[in-house]
Amino acid sequence: MPPQKKTGLLFGSFNPVHAGHLMIASYMAEYTDLDQVWFVVSPHNPLKEKATLLADHHRLALVDLAIEDDARFKSSNIEFKLPKPSYTIDTLTYLQEKYPGRQFIPIIGSDNLGTFHKWKNWEALADLYRFYVYPRPGVESSRFDEHPSFQFVDAPLITVSSSFIRQGIREGKDMRYFLPERVWKYLCEMNFYR
């Protein structure tokens, strides 16, 4: 039986996808043992305000534009089809059944570790899966720092955020260098976030 393909899962609303997301995905593809990184576009998160969130299909289209020439990356709309709200354990269970030839490794920011014990079935998640953790600025240590399921990577700190980009666009700033060129053009053509 061939070895399982190691597939990193970068979850997010990608509202919009930006250079920082691509840097993290690229770092994971180049500096870890992952064969591919999938951008899992999340549907509306009940904890986030819907007013600033682009429709699911637009956010997926932006991710596709951002990664279309790069075989290391793939977009996934899997959570659009699953019951809402989306829980990581349910998404991973579904993906594992659908793609038995792949080993899925969620990629999370270190800021997620502080609330990991609140995730649905977090004990099972930590038992069944490995996580690659990239650093986020200003994050305190957590109880999971020494846990064997969490592998910290020495990725560069990235502080660009989607909310910063949305705010800049709203204020009429030229944000083109924070986004892939095709994403910037799409946002301008559709007049998004203005």
Express each pLDDT in 60-73 by its tens digit: 999 999 999 899 99
Cα distance between residue 27 and residue 39, in whole Å: 14
Give me 17's structure tokens: 């996808």
- At residue 51, what are phi and psi to the nearest 5 degrees? -55, -40
For residue 1, is pLDDT > 90?
no
For residue 86, is pLDDT > 90?
no
Contact (CB, 8 A) for 128 and 31: no
Contact (CB, 8 A) for 48 and 88: no
The pLDDT score that the predictor gives to residue 32 is 98
Coil, helix or strand at residue 50? helix
Report domain extents, the chain: 5-161
The superfamily (CATH) of domain 5-161 is HUPs (3.40.50.620)
Contact (CB, 8 A) for 73 and 108: no
pLDDT in tens, 110-158: 999 999 999 999 999 999 999 999 999 889 889 999 999 999 999 999 9
